[in-house]
Structure 1
Amino acid sequence: MQWTNGPAAGQNQTFILKAAVASLVAAGVMSSASVWAQDSGAVVTVTGVRKAAQSAQTIKRNSDEVLDSIVAEEAGKFPDKNVAEVLGRVTGVQIRRESGEASSVIIRGLPGLMTLLNGREVYTSNGRSLFLADIPTTMLQRVDVYKTQGADMVEGGTAGVIDVRTSRPFDFKGLHATVTGRVENRDKSKTNDPQASGMVSNRWKTDFGDIGALIGLSYQKGHYQDEITWSAPPARLVPGDPAATGPIDLGHVNALGERVRYSANWALQWRPSREVELYAEGWSTRIDHDMERQFYLGGVGWNADSKYTLFPGTKQVATVTSTNPAGLFSLSSNQVPQDDSVGHQGAIGARWDVTPDLRVTSEFSRTNSRWKQELPILEMLASPKTIQGSTYVNGGAYFDYPGYDMTNPANYKLGAFLDLWQSSRGQSNDWRADATYNNGDDSFFREFSGGVRLAQRKASYMHESAGFLPPPAGLPSVTSLPGMLCPSMRLANDYGMNQWLVACGGYQHANIEQIRKMYGRTGRVAADPYSLYKNGEDTTAFYGKTRFGFDAFGIPVDGSAGVRVVKTELDVNGFSNINGNPVAVNRKVSSTDVLPTMTLKATLRQDLIARLNAGKAVQRPNFGDFNPGVSLGQTANSAGVYDGNGGNPDLKPVTGKNLDVALEWYFAPTGSVTGTVFNHKFEDYVIRRLTLEQIDGKTYRMDRPRNINDGELKGIELGYRQFYDFLPGWLGGFGLEANYTYMKGYLMEDGKRNPFQGMSKNAYNIVGLYERGPISARVAYNWRSQFVDTYNYRALGLDLIVEPIKTADASISYKINDNFGVTLDVENLLDRTYNDYHGIPTNPRDVRRYDRTVGLSLRWKL
């Protein structure tokens, strides 16, 4: 076996296609008309959506690991704006969308994932993974989602690994260029935002060999508005009925912001001969994110004169009218964070085919990322006399103040001021070298590989001290401060009082020093030493792996076995509060993990593959969890117990022992039915909990991250993809992708099995596709069942539960000619809502609504 691709690959594809056609006829999936079309030489042109689906299916089929891929329809063309949105269509992956875009990503219900960029570790500031929304899809070639890991992969990610792949110049035959312009309208923020991106790549044959260069640039600007109406947790404070429960407060939040994202990627390749290739590539991003959280809290003011009704058959308050001549508590707070995030990664590497059977590769990369936030919060108080409220109108909290104008400046006075900031950094150097020897397809052991990786990582974090400033005597009236007051954004839905006054976000940042002086402070406050940590982490990893093959009762079986040995040395530094004074603390810990893996892949027929993957993976805790500093309270409660909090430098990495069994039927180049059964067992899972500890002879109720020994996740994934080319005429343009995931899992804590936080038991995606001639279109629907967001929310004995989430998106593209195309897309077709509740549905907390986004894009390519 040599490092070349011959004509056998194409012949094999032809054979597979014919075998697939025959099997589909036997199964009744394809009609005889379609078979006749194959025999008569009719050709279905594979471009665009079909080509992307075929490439993704080929990657999945040929992989040793259990994975799913999404490939760009054309270089730089995805129907989504960022990587997180792309992942929302992948089997077993769930995302959450807020603040104008997709954000958090989980695999099979769990957050313990590893992010890679072209196979290299990449992250945001002091985190363990990359904020995937920061990578625009315009620079992508594909995204691979690994559910299992090989010994040759960078360790980390008990839930899975997401590898973001960007293009290189040798991916194209010659000069290639694309330019995309886009404008998108958002209905709630009522904005039209521009976006632009471009990429140019070329390669040349010279006397020094093949040379290629690529550069890509992206600019995205987006406004957004998320609106929230909320109810406080139920409490037993209803006069005259001690068994009844009702909220203390009701409120609204408008989360609006502007996000500007700049991204760039570049790559150079040089192939002086067929045996040698050198490359350099890099990626950079800069995000400026200005936000306002226009927060309103209205106290219900329960008293003997309160009038209320209950939900029929319950003791839960449905409506309330409360009157207080002295005034009810009312708070307006505008929280105005300004975030600045910068990330860079650069890499150089080489490949050398020493012989036709021996390949050696090496790569060095440097990553640097920082994030900082300035967050002033200016509060105002009002005193309405009467509130009329309901805990369930239009799905959420509804309240109003009869005869009281919440947009009248005379009704407000200044409250507290919060002068907050925080920042974090991360840097790393990463070097690896690998060697692979092909022993030939006729041998049992067909390939041997091994390698080494050395990585040095640093991370730090800090935030302000004494950020809360209560209102001092002598504060000026709000009407005496020109430009300070702004009306809040109006809620798009009817929840009673839907507009109030806030301290303008721009005013708070522009006049920050004036506001500080009003509250008795000069200048920006110093960092809180108890928040500060600086961690160093050195990783040394070695691996060995072999691929093998044999026939079992006439069935070809391929497999791999390997082991990765990882030594991690951690140096953590922070401060503890000892008798009210900061005392430096340093801890050094070291651990070694042995991670075996094995895969088996049996080709039952040319179109039917069975897999078995087993292995062990680790997920290191977040750097902040290691902070050795503790803060100890000075006053004991009535039981003589003090409060305290801190990190835990003795945390062990989370260990996952994973087993996946899959059956995959590839009945056409763009047609498949796949199923995977998985069982993952976890040890040392990290959660944050309160536990009594003895420190210097005193008992403290310490809040810190801890390891839990027992956890398990099991389930099944099903996937289907097909283009119905056999249908007559224009109907042959239709296709369908669908997948379903069932998950069941728990963590054992205090003898009780609790499902994983954030895990939905059921989730599915349905994507309808159409491509014929110059037209291509898709409609995607995503659904996930309810899940627990927080156990024992605010220590009230109630779990915070999120109701099922459903999302629909659509796009249609028209290819004007070979160089120009236009796309219209709509995100949030169903005007989705996010609903959660305290324990039972008649105790709602939030109802959140988001922008519906309509985008129009014009794309040119060369």
Structure 2
Amino acid sequence: MRMKHSLWLVSTAMAFVAQPAFAQAETAGTAETPDNTIVVTGYRASLEQARDVKRNATIIQDSIVASDIAAFPDLNLAEALQRLPGVAINREAGEGRRVSLRGLGPDFTRVQLNGMEVLGNVDSPQDSRGQNSRDRAFDFNIFAAELFNRVDVQKSYSAEQTEGGLAGTVGLYTARPFDYDGTKFVVSAQGGTNTLTEDFQPRLTGLVSRNWGDFGILVSAAYSHRKTREEGVDTYRWRLNEPYDPADGSGGSYGSDISNLTQDEQDAINAGGLRFPRGNRYSVWDSKQDRFGLTASIQWNPADAVHLTLDGLYGQFKADRFETHLASRASFGSTWLGGGTTHAGVTYPNSTINAIEWNDQNEVTYLDVSGGNTASETRIQNTKNTFKQVVFNGDADLTSRLKLTVLGGIERSSYDMPLSDKFYTEAFGDVVSDYRGGTYSLVNSFGWDTGDPANYHAHEIDMSANYQDTAFDNVKGKLDYEVSSGDTLSIGGEWRRFKNSGYSQTADNVLRSSFQDGSVSDDISGYATSYTGFSGQDWVVADYGKALSQLGVSRQAQLSDPQNVFAVEERTAAGFVQYSWDHDLGSIPFRGNIGARYYSTDITSTGIANVGSLSVDGHYDGILPAANFIFELNPDLLLRAAAARNINRPSLGAMAVNGSVSEENGEYSVSVGNPQLRPYKSTDLDLSLEYYFGKVGSMAAAVFYKTLDGFITTRTDNDVPYSATGLPTDLLPGLTADTPVQTFSHPVNLGKTDLYGIELSTQTDFTFLPAPFDRFGTALNFTYVDSNFDYSTIYSGGADTRLEGLSKYNGNATLYYQDTKFDMRVSANYRSGYVYSAAPITSGGGQDQDLSGYAPTIYLDMSAHYKLTDNVQITLDAINLTNQHEKQYSDSTKRLYVNTRSGTTLMGGVRFEF
């Protein structure tokens, strides 16, 4: 009902703003200035400017350009990027978060901000999406899109570019004063809601820019507040039961009474090999988010041939999260099996299985249980992400033929999660779990009042905190020497320091034994309430602050000393030489560049192992050749070819040396990260044909091929000398370089594969149609990419499947309308299913899954603007109009893992420009 109401609001609002627009329509997307110059405006202007950037680039790239001041085409950077060919995104709470480029996951896309490499991490509240993971993926939801006026996606590589990013580089650019004439003042205010949260979501943006001849200052700011919700069903994967062992009663039904079942059903359960869903969970993830961003830019041209720019950006993203679940939590990995216990003097028997069904894959799809052990989980999280960057850019013509360009910058970012605690309550009752409605369906029917606190008792508290910091320091410069007209020789150098560090604190099973033996009251009536936020089912949640107060628990006293302490520092020196030209090859204009880049990286990884601190060094270097060729076959037809070598640095978690060294009965075991990992390496070949027509029209077809080498896996070596671990011998008494180590687990580089694909794109106005249809236009793109890898070569039990993060098919279709008053566009984005993690997960009964992944999605978004005056504009945006679900699957057989929805977001507002 809420969804129908929202769609009605959108259609009504669009009809309201469109009616006068069609009536007053003039030449599509143009405005006339006092000197009679025709200026293209709106979304069409964004397409035209982006097309010109693409056409003039020496490398293969696509761009997004803001059509006006503080008027980026989308509210979210990642969602804007997904409109480009070859780009796919993943989402968090309905909002774009990370970018995958040409089939490679977010870890393989390098991000630059105002010319300097950066890393900004938020996180996911869901464990299935890698909460607290240490990686090199940039989270684009940390910033408001209005702070930026251009984004480039660079898909081929040149020697002058910083090495890294096998998939490509995303370049973000904030606004600068010389982008605009004179004085500019812009204020935008929006308000909206979401169909699940039904709250008010303000969004404010402001920009002030002033130029005084050769000097200018610009300041912009953006703030938004919103409440998000993801709700749905999930499992903790599925688990094979082990055969029944009469010696200790393990396996089979794990103590559940199965006497009501047929003999064949009992025999099948006792034989093992049935796969039971774990968790059987109803879930809600709520978050209150505050996002603030501030940019400042100073430009000064002290002489005609000298240009100086200082850019600063500050971003803060805060989230207060509330998460709750109603789930099974009995024996055998939180299934409905077993679960009997004695708690506070009361004995609860194991569950009774009344009925069971399974499918051809031996997956249990229906289970009727009496006395099932049920848990309600309340989780509270507070997170804060801070990002700071200052970058200086300058260039000067030293002579008529020699130009110097320099950059210096620093970035500091932090991720703080001081509170991430869970409170569990426990209950026992009848339940039916039914998965027969489809792959991503779960219906639980409870035979007791799940919303009555009297039916529960306190079970345990888990506490944790997590902190991470990132630092980038960067200095680079180059000299461009004009050898002759159209020929330039460039040489340059770069120094970078990157450091990622952090630690965690934990306290698990707090008060569990005290609740169980009755020494602390398990009565929750003083701090528990009924939660009614999940459609069709209520359950009990804890007021966490009140619970700690009544129980007399101090978090500070419970949390451990810092653990999992790590710091990874990379220091890189690089240099390049590149030759560029712009000539005719016969009668064909021919431009391009060819060059090579040398890099040398030193690594220091420090951490605290189980017996103390340690520090390990690493080093790698190499040469990366690159070439880009552009043939202008005719004034409107370009043929591009590119070839290069590139690298991608190892994951941060794999290089962190915090691990363990242990000895038992004279046998030694070592588990540690590996700062001596080599980077991933690739050889890239690209070919692109581009045709340009009209004011905004273009058609392009590109093919690409990559060889990828150096995949990272954790390998266990047996019976090696201690010297092979690379660790100091003072970690345990008696260790020497020759001491035999029975098991040595560490990440290594192993495995290679090929990746190939094709990109097709077109954009055009419908000027060939009669009015008013000639004011319509479209932008379409489609990407096919494929690459298989046999993960069993690096993981025991791994699958032969597509690369992690690779969607075989991606596409975007945008239909737009624009006249002098009104513009509107509707965009649909398709992403086919993909593997999220190819690392198998095993348990005592066997393998839970060989991989996990996401099902295909189609997101439908809309944006519209109506110009009341030259200075005032009304805006309307709708995101995820169809309330697309995010569906995660477990294993190659695609069993239900998570199925959530996040609702439709509607935003309306007004924009003033002077």
SS in 2 for 1:384: strand
Specify the alignment match of 2:879 in structure 1.
827
Determine helix, strand or coil for the equivalent of 2:646: strand
Cα offset for 1:132? Answer: 1.5
Instruction: For residues 276-314 of structure 1, give each alpha carbon's deviation from its aligned partner in whole angstroms, at most 9, with x where no partner exists.
Output: 122211000112111122122224237774312345x66
Judge conservation of contact 1:239–1:304 (CA < 8 Å) in 2.
no
Pair 486,768 (structure 1): closer, same or farther in 2 beyond 3 Å: farther
Counterparts of 2:776 and 2:661 in 1: how far apart (Å)? 64
Partner of 1:240: 267
CA separation in 2, counterparts of 1:216 and 1:376?
Answer: 33
Query: Is the 8 Å Cα contact of residues 82 and 134 (structure 1) preserved in structure 2?
Result: no
Distance 1:421 1:315, change over 3 A: closer
After superposition, give the CA deviation of every residue in 1:490-546 in whole Å (9 maximum; x if it has no partner): 234x5xxx22112235557x85993348xxx82543101xx1122332211111111
- Once the two structures are superposed, the pairs formed by residues 556-595 of structure 1 within 5 Å of their partners are 556-577=589-610, 582-595=611-624
Q: Does 1:453 align with 2:479?
A: no
Structure 1 stretch displaced more, 341-350 or 743-752: 743-752
Structure 1 counterpart SS, 2:52 = helix
Could you tell me how far apart the structure 2 residues matched to 1:717 and 1:365 are? 35
Corresponding residue of 2:70: 76
Cα 1:543–1:47 shift into 2, 3 Å = same
Write the distance in 1 (CA, Å) between the matches of 2:149 and 2:595: 29
Aligned to 1:5: none
Structure 1 contact 384–401 (Cα < 8 Å) conserved: no
- 2:146 is aligned, of 138, 143, 151, to 138
Q: 2:405 aligns with which of 361, 371, 393?
A: 361
Query: How far apart in 1 are the matches of 2:153 and 2:719?
Result: 41
Q: Deviations over 1:584-608 (max 9, x none)?
A: 2211222212111101111111111
Q: Corresponding residue for 1:30?
A: none
User: CA 1:162–1:332 in 2, change beyond 3 Å: closer, same or farther?
Assistant: same
Question: How many corresponding residue pairs?
Answer: 793
List per-residue Cα deviations over 1:458-489 (Å, max 9, x = no partner).
3211111554435132465465664x324335
RMSD: 2.7
The answer to whether 1:490 aligns with 2:533 is yes
CA contact (8 A) 1:380 1:412 kept: no
Partner residue, 2:743: 700
User: How much does 1:573 deviate?
Assistant: 1.2
Q: From the superposition, tell whether residues 555 and 641 of structure 1 become closer, same or farther in structure 2 (CA, over 3 Å).
A: farther
- Say whether 1:213 aligns with 2:251: no
Q: Secondary structure at the match of 2:146?
A: helix
Q: C-alpha offsets along residues 659-699 of structure 1, whole Å, 9 cap, x if unaligned?
A: 11111111223111101110111121234566657465343
- Residue 200 of structure 1 contacts residue 214 of structure 1 at CA under 8 Å; is this kept in 2? yes
Residue of structure 1 in register with 2:210 after alignment: 202
Could you tell which deviates more after superposition, 98-107 or 606-615? 98-107
SS of the aligned residue for 1:154 comes to coil
Correspondence 1:424 to 2:424: no
Whether 2:889 is the aligned partner of 1:837: answer: yes
**1:87 lines up with 2:74 in the alignment:** no
Contact 1:712 1:745 in 2 (8 A): yes
The TM-score, its normalising length taken from structure 1, stands at: 0.87
Equivalence map 1:569-718=2 (5 Å): 569-577=602-610, 582-632=611-661, 645-688=671-714, 694=720, 696-700=739-743, 702=745, 704-718=746-760
CA separation in 2, counterparts of 1:687 and 1:397?
34
2:572 aligned with 1:539? yes
Larger mean Cα displacement after TM superposition, 838-847 or 794-803:
838-847
Query: Residue 861 of structure 2 aligns with which residue?
Result: 809
Residue of structure 2 in register with 1:742 after alignment? 784
Question: In the TM superposition, what is the alpha-carbon distance from 1:226 to its structure 2 partner?
Answer: 0.2
Does 1:262 pair with 2:292?
A: yes
CA distance change for structure 1 residues 665 and 234 in 2, over 3 Å: closer, same or farther? same
2:453·2:525 contact (CA, 8 Å) conserved in 1?
Answer: no
Deviations 1:173-218 (A, max 9, x none): 111111111112011122111111100101013xxxx110000011
Distance 1:599-1:305 versus aligned 2 partners, 3 A rule: closer
2:815 corresponds to: 768
Taking a change above 3 Å as real, the CA distance of residues 98 and 667 of structure 1, as seen in their structure-2 partners, is same
Q: Is the 8 A contact 1:281 1:347 kept in 2?
A: yes
Q: CA deviation at 1:547?
A: 0.7
The equivalent of 1:730 in structure 2 is 772
Classify 1:635/1:720 alpha carbon distance in 2 versus 1 (closer, same or farther; 3 Å): farther
Structure 2 CA distance for aligned equivalents of residues 780 and 133 of structure 1? 20
* Residues 182-191 or 43-52, more deviating: 43-52
Question: Is the Cα–Cα contact under 8 Å of residues 513 and 523 in structure 1 kept in the other structure?
Answer: no
1:629, 1:646 within 8 Å by CA — same for their partners in 2? yes
Partner of 2:195: 187
**Structure 1 residues 476, 392: closer, same or farther in 2, change over 3 A?**
farther
Pairing partner for 1:119 from 115, 118, 129: 115
Larger displacement relative to structure 2 (844-853 or 547-556): 547-556
Gaps of 5+ in 1: 1-33, 35-41
Q: Mean Cα displacement is larger for which, 121-130 or 764-773?
A: 121-130
Worse overlay, 605-614 or 542-551: 542-551
Summarize deviations over 1:703-727 as a string: whole Å, max 9, x none: x433123122111111111111232
Given that residues 453 and 524 in structure 2 are in contact (C-alpha distance below 8 angstroms), is that contact kept between their aligned partners in structure 1?
no
Question: Counterpart amino acid of 1:423?
Answer: Y
Per-residue CA deviation, residues 127-174 of structure 1 (Å, 9 max, x unaligned), is: 535322112111111110111121111221111101001111011111
Amino acid across the alignment from 1:462: Y
Cross-structure match for 1:785? 832
Percent identity of the aligned residues? 24
CA deviation vs aligned residue, 1:86-143 (integer Å, no higher than 9, x gap): 1121211111112342112111121211110011111126753532211211111111
Change (3 A) 1:513 1:274: farther
Aligned to 2:161: 153
Partner AA of 2:312 in structure 1: G
Residue pair 1:254, 1:489 contacting (<8 A) in 2 also: no
Alpha-carbon separation, structure 1, partners of 2:209 and 2:402: 30
Partner amino acid, structure 1, of 2:48: Q
Q: Secondary structure at the match of 1:651?
A: coil
The separation in 2 between residues aligned to 1:431 and 1:745, in whole angstroms, is 36
Q: Contact between 1:354 and 1:360, CA under 8 Å: does it hold in 2?
A: yes
Contact 2:465 2:506 in 1 (8 A): no
Whole-angstrom CA distance in 1 between matches of 2:355 and 2:461: 35
CA drift at 1:82: 2.5
Query: Which amino acid is 1:807 matched to?
Result: Y
Q: 1:393 to 1:550 in 2, by over 3 A?
A: same
DSSP 3-state at the match of 1:59: helix
Corresponding position of 1:103: 97
Query: Is 1:51 aligned with 2:45?
Result: yes
In the other structure, the counterpart of 2:421 is 377
In the alignment, the residues of structure 2 paired with residue 277 and residue 561 of structure 1 have an alpha-carbon distance, to the nearest angstrom, of: 27
Displacement of 1:629: 2.9
Matches within 5 A, 1:240-319: 240-241=267-268, 242=271, 244-298=274-328, 299-301=335-337, 305-311=353-359, 315-319=362-366
* Structure 1 CA distance for aligned equivalents of residues 841 and 488 of structure 2: 55
- Preserved CA contact (<8 Å) 2:593 2:627: yes
The letter for the 2-side match of 1:673 is: M
Report deviation, 1:729. Answer: 1.1
Question: What do the CA deviations read for 1:741-798 (whole angstroms, capped 9, x no partner)?
Answer: 1111133555585421121111111111111121111111111112222335422154
> Is this contact kept in 1: 2:143–2:291, CA < 8 A?
no
Q: Residue 632 of structure 1: CA displacement?
A: 4.6
In structure 2, the CA distance between the partners of 1:596 and 1:842, relative to structure 1 (3 Å rule), is: closer
Deviations 1:428-477 (A, max 9, x none): 32111121123344x6xx11111111222332111115544351324654
Instruction: Please give the secondary structure, in 1, of the residue aligned with 2:553.
Output: helix
3-state SS of 2:533 partner: coil
| Matching of residue 177 in structure 1 with residue 181 in structure 2 | no
